């Protein structure tokens, strides 16, 4: 078989795979849009209670289908820090790949944390420690705004186009990420709604305890632009990285033709791996 023929066959197989994936996701999305908050959903041998149908679809698509948090562990019981666990779908994914994984999950939202705790128990996952806390640069208590689904953040990271009067206000416990970098960490997942530079920068001298990480960067109206600082920090600490923009369904603002305004909001995934 010639190189041209092999390439043609390979491209055809990829197109067929992509078509099947798109069809599957279309079916899941159609069902998810009808789910009400508090619904019980079964998928991939898991059973969970969801806080929001559209949010469940995006999490399932990105985590279980696109596998944005996948990593190749060097042992069968990797230590994983899950910062911003939401309702626990990322933890379910980690446990489906590495059943013996040791996981610490952080989620500050009191309503969402109840879903998270129930979902971990419902799926009988062991070696999972859950902490109702926000990940920051130090320990303490801070003001937190929440929609009790997924649009939650510490007050200093509230986007300029979001009315705080429409959100519930809480005082939440915060922990410093560095307090949990006292031993080698196989994988760090971070989705903390704008606080990523503060959390990482607050323990810069300990980041080398992490082997691999995926950090979600939030470019939100009114917030400081920190992408270049995060990438510089990772470079200084010996990490090589790549940046991914999810897909146009999750991240509409990154689709061409490109345009930036003060109100542009988009998200990026930063995958980093320590190179020494």
Q: Which residue stretches of the chain have pLDDT < 50? A: 9
Structural domains of the chain sorted by starting position, each given as residue range(s) with its CATH number in brackets:
68-274 (3.40.50.150)
Transcribe 7-27 into DSSP letters: HHHHHHHHHHHHHHHHHHHHH
Q: What is the pLDDT of residues 169-189, one digit of tens each?
A: 989 999 999 999 999 999 999
Element (H, E) at 5: helix 3-32
Burial class of residue 14 in the structure, from the number of CB atoms within 10 Å of its CB (0-12 exposed, 13-18 middle, 19+ buried): exposed
Burial class of residue 135 in the structure, from the number of CB atoms within 10 Å of its CB (0-12 exposed, 13-18 middle, 19+ buried): buried
pTM assigned to the model = 0.91
Q: What is the pLDDT of residues 130-161, one digit of tens each?
A: 999 999 888 899 888 988 887 788 888 888 88
């Amino acid at each position: 078989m010639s190189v041209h023929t092999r390439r043609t066959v390979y491209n055809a197989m990829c197109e067929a795979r992509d078509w099947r994936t798109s069809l599957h996701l279309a079916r899941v999305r159609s069902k998810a849009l009808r789910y009400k908050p508090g619904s019980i959903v079964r998928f991939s041998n898991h059973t969970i209670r969801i806080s929001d149908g559209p949010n469940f679809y995006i999490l399932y698509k990105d985590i279980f289908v696109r596998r944005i948090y996948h990593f190749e562990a060097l042992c069968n019981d990797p230590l994983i820090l899950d910062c911003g666990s939401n309702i626990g779908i990322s933890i379910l994914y980690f446990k489906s790949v590495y059943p013996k994984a040791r996981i610490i999950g952080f989620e500050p939202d009191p309503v969402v944390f109840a879903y998270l705790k129930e979902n971990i128990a419902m799926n009988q996952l062991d070696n999972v420690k859950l902490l109702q806390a926000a990940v920051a640069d130090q320990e303490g208590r801070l003001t937190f705004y929440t929609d009790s689904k997924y649009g939650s953040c510490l007050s200093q990271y509230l986007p300029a186009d979001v009315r705080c009067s429409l959100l519930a206000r809480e005082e939440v416990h915060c922990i410093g990420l560095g307090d949990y970098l006292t031993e080698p960490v196989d994988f760090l997942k971070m989705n903390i709604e704008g606080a990523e530079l503060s959390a990482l920068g607050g323990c810069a001298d300990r980041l080398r305890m992490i082997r691999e990480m995926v950090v979600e960067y939030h470019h939100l109206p009114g917030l400081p632009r920190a992408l270049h600082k995060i990438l510089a920090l990772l470079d200084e600490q010996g990490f090589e990285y790549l940046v991914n923009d999810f897909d146009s369904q999750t991240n509409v603002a990154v689709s061409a033709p490109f345009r930036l305004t003060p109100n542009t909001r988009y998200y990026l995934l930063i995958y980093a791996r320590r190179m020494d």
